[in-house]
Structure 1
Amino acid sequence: MRETQAQTVQVSPLSDDLAFLDIVTEWDLSSAYHDWKVGIVVPDTFRPNPITPRVIAVANQKGGVGKTLTAFELAMALVARGLRVRLVDADPQMAALSAWLIACFPEGKRWTLTDVLFERCSLADATYPTPYVGLYTVVSGPDLGEVENSHEKPPGVESLLQYHLSTEDQFDVTIIDAGPTLGLPTVAALVAAHDVLVPVQAASGLDVKGAASLMQTINRVKGRLNPNLRIAATFLTDFDRSTLSRTIGGQMVKAFPDALVVPVRRSVRVGEAQLAMAPLRLFTPGTTTTLDYDLAAALLTGATVPTQRTAS
């Protein structure tokens, strides 16, 4: 990893008196709809994991569910808590993380995740600073999709990220933004990860099916390559208060009984932040979307959350 003087933007904690969601132990599906109150589900069996270094994969076998938004905003929330965070773009789509998060490249060769998977460089070599103090990134591009069918990929490439991550301790948390298909980069991300976060659009039944397909993949990875992998949270992105959102949330609670279920309230400012190539947390600090990711980051790491926002 090459250090530069590019990191100049500080990421500050949010105030505790903002409109965070309540924290509940289960999703209320029995009350009348007009009496229902949205909350983040923290089941009694959920256990935060403050241990560092930590590797988190953000995945769902369907595009357009908010994977990149989830990876980016959680990273910013963790940086605001004083953690040193690396974001890895493992999605070959042009509209992925590398198009949103600015990397500060030094002079010379610019390594990417493709180079790491072809063993042209180490993961540390491909890690670059961003303008935000404490946040680093590994960029990607369309050529990442070529790794799948290349005859030049090294043996055991599925475990290559795990190897690099197990031999370094420069970062408290590495978050991997996986692609929407079960390709080699996605499998490599799951093999390397301790936790998986599953974004699901709150208004799309098809996204629920994508999550079910991902569960099959995770079970195969656990059985063969990474027995300690767990689903730590599911995120209901573009959430608005509707019967469909409540139904989909209830299905996620049932499907992942030990995981957080986090409604991420919809905000039109998300698209504006992406167009401005800025994190939503800094573009509009008080938006509900930012608050939901911020509270989720605290819950995942066992950090202190506002006690007045806790309900039974």
Structure 2
Amino acid sequence: MRETQGQTVQVSPLSDDLAFLDIVTEWDLSSAYHSWKPSIVVPPTFLPGTLPRVIAICNQKGGAGKTTTALELAMSLIARGLRVRLIDADPQEACLTVWLRYFWPEDLAEPARKSLEHLYFDQTVTLQDITYPTPYKGLYFVPSFPDLEDVETKHPTGTDTNLQYHLSKPDDGFDVTIIDCGPSLGPLTVSALVASQDVIIPVQAASGLDVRGAAALNRTIRSVQGRLNPQLRVASVVLTDFEKSTLARQIGGKLAKAYPNAVILPARTSVRIGEAQLDKEPLRVFAPTATTGLDYDRGASVLFGNKGAA
């Protein structure tokens, strides 16, 4: 990891003046809809994560908000003073590598530039070799390109445990590593789950199909827990594009039952997300008054307690 450009933007927590969600131990599903207030559910059994920590953002259904969740959570954590590495494990062209600005070293010619795909096929490449700085202080990035799909089709030796191996090496100074998984339950997602302590599952708050997709993911998680990573837990379900509705309340209630030890975090919808993607900026930088960013700030506080807080 060569840092030839200085990171210049200091990211701060968003203003508490924005409307925020209360924290409860469970949603009230029996009250009349007009008197129901959406809140963040933190079960009594939930324990904030210790540091350092690896988190996989997973849901095999496309459009669930995985990339937004990965980036905005990372931004919330660096705003708390933590050092964060984002790994783009999605081989699609419309992925985090397209959204987030990052810096290639100035002395590194294009043919020598390496990405996540090289970590699986070249045993001489280390995670540090493919980790690049971004414009945001404390945030570093591992990019991917469509050739990462070769990992899914060619199954290089040790795919399942590759990321785990590299992330288990001596401390490199990162407090949190966040892995943005692609829309499948293939080898890349399994590799991310094997390497992680926590899974965060984004689910569209207005999509019953996303609830069914989360059930399929749960089978994969149980398989990984049984074979390769018994310490893996579902830390949170993020209800993306959240707006108060009867359907959103039903979906949140079902997911709270499916994952009784996980935080249920509503991330309110914002029309500015698409604009932020086009402008290649995180939402909280592009539109700091959007309540979505504050929701992820609150989520970071719950998931990590006071770690990194000023």
Q: What TM-score, normalized to structure 2?
A: 0.95
Instruction: Identify the residue that residue 184 of structure 2 maps to in structure 1.
Output: 181
Whichever residue aligns with residue 138 of structure 2, its letter is G
What is the CA–CA distance in structure 2 between the aligned matches of 1:4 and 1:260, rounded to whole Å?
39
Match of 1:135 among 133, 139, 142: 139
Q: Which moved more, 1:127-136 or 1:140-149?
A: 140-149
- Equivalent pair of 1:21/1:40 in contact (CA under 8 Å): yes
Whichever residue aligns with residue 51 of structure 2, its letter is T
Q: Say which SS state the counterpart of residue 16 (structure 2) adopts.
A: coil
Question: Could you tell me how far 1:239 is from its partner in structure 2?
Answer: 0.6
Match of 2:150 among 146, 149, 156: 146
Consecutive aligned runs of 4 or more in structure 1 exceeding 4 Å deviation: none
Match of 1:113 among 105, 111, 116: 116
The within-5 A match list for 1:72-111 is: 72-106=71-105, 107-108=108-109, 109-111=112-114
- Equivalent pair of 2:5/2:103 in contact (CA under 8 Å): no
Instruction: Identify the residue that residue 167 of structure 2 maps to in structure 1.
Output: 165
Question: Could you tell me how far 1:213 is from its partner in structure 2?
Answer: 0.3
Question: Could you tell me how far 1:19 is from its partner in structure 2?
Answer: 1.2
- The superposition leaves residues 251-292 of structure 1 with CA deviations (integer Å, 9 ceiling, x where unpaired) of 111110000001111110111111111001111112110111
Q: Say which SS state the counterpart of residue 250 (structure 1) adopts.
A: helix
What is the CA–CA distance in structure 2 between the aligned matches of 1:232 and 1:38, rounded to whole Å?
19
Whichever residue aligns with residue 159 of structure 1, its letter is T
Instruction: Identify the residue that residue 46 of structure 2 maps to in structure 1.
Output: 46
- Alignment of 1:29 with 2:33, yes or no, is no
What is the CA–CA distance in structure 2 between the aligned matches of 1:282 and 1:239, rounded to whole Å?
20
Question: Could you tell me how far 1:70 is from its partner in structure 2?
Answer: 0.1
Q: Say which SS state the counterpart of residue 234 (structure 1) adopts.
A: strand
- Equivalent pair of 1:38/1:241 in contact (CA under 8 Å): yes
What is the CA–CA distance in structure 2 between the aligned matches of 1:16 and 1:299, rounded to whole Å?
16
Whichever residue aligns with residue 70 of structure 1, its letter is T
What is the CA–CA distance in structure 1 between the aligned matches of 2:263 and 2:186, rounded to whole Å?
26
Q: Say which SS state the counterpart of residue 17 (structure 2) adopts.
A: coil
- Equivalent pair of 2:18/2:291 in contact (CA under 8 Å): no
What is the CA–CA distance in structure 2 between the aligned matches of 1:249 and 1:228, rounded to whole Å?
25
Q: Say which SS state the counterpart of residue 234 (structure 2) adopts.
A: strand
Q: What TM-score, normalized to structure 1?
A: 0.94
Whichever residue aligns with residue 91 of structure 1, its letter is D
- Equivalent pair of 1:6/1:104 in contact (CA under 8 Å): no
- Equivalent pair of 1:53/1:172 in contact (CA under 8 Å): yes
Q: Say which SS state the counterpart of residue 100 (structure 2) adopts.
A: coil
RMSD: 1.3
What is the CA–CA distance in structure 1 between the aligned matches of 2:218 and 2:38, rounded to whole Å?
25
What percentage of residue pairs aligned between the two structures are identical?
64
Q: Say which SS state the counterpart of residue 241 (structure 2) adopts.
A: strand
Q: Say which SS state the counterpart of residue 140 (structure 1) adopts.
A: coil
What is the CA–CA distance in structure 2 between the aligned matches of 1:27 and 1:168, rounded to whole Å?
42
Whichever residue aligns with residue 77 of structure 1, its letter is S
What is the CA–CA distance in structure 1 between the aligned matches of 2:254 and 2:160, rounded to whole Å?
31
What is the CA–CA distance in structure 2 between the aligned matches of 1:231 and 1:237, rounded to whole Å?
16
Q: Say which SS state the counterpart of residue 125 (structure 1) adopts.
A: helix
Instruction: Identify the residue that residue 190 of structure 1 maps to in structure 2.
Output: 193
The within-5 A match list for 1:171-250 is: 171-250=174-253
- Equivalent pair of 1:83/1:134 in contact (CA under 8 Å): yes
Whichever residue aligns with residue 150 of structure 1, its letter is K
Match of 2:126 among 122, 127, 134: 122
What is the CA–CA distance in structure 1 between the aligned matches of 2:170 and 2:6, rounded to whole Å?
23
Question: Could you tell me how far 1:10 is from its partner in structure 2?
Answer: 1.1
Q: Say which SS state the counterpart of residue 48 (structure 2) adopts.
A: coil
Q: Say which SS state the counterpart of residue 196 (structure 1) adopts.
A: strand
- The superposition leaves residues 53-89 of structure 1 with CA deviations (integer Å, 9 ceiling, x where unpaired) of 1100000111100000000000000000000000000
The within-5 A match list for 1:214-293 is: 214-293=217-296
Whichever residue aligns with residue 43 of structure 1, its letter is P
Gaps of 5+ in 1: 305-312
What is the CA–CA distance in structure 2 between the aligned matches of 1:275 and 1:168, rounded to whole Å?
37
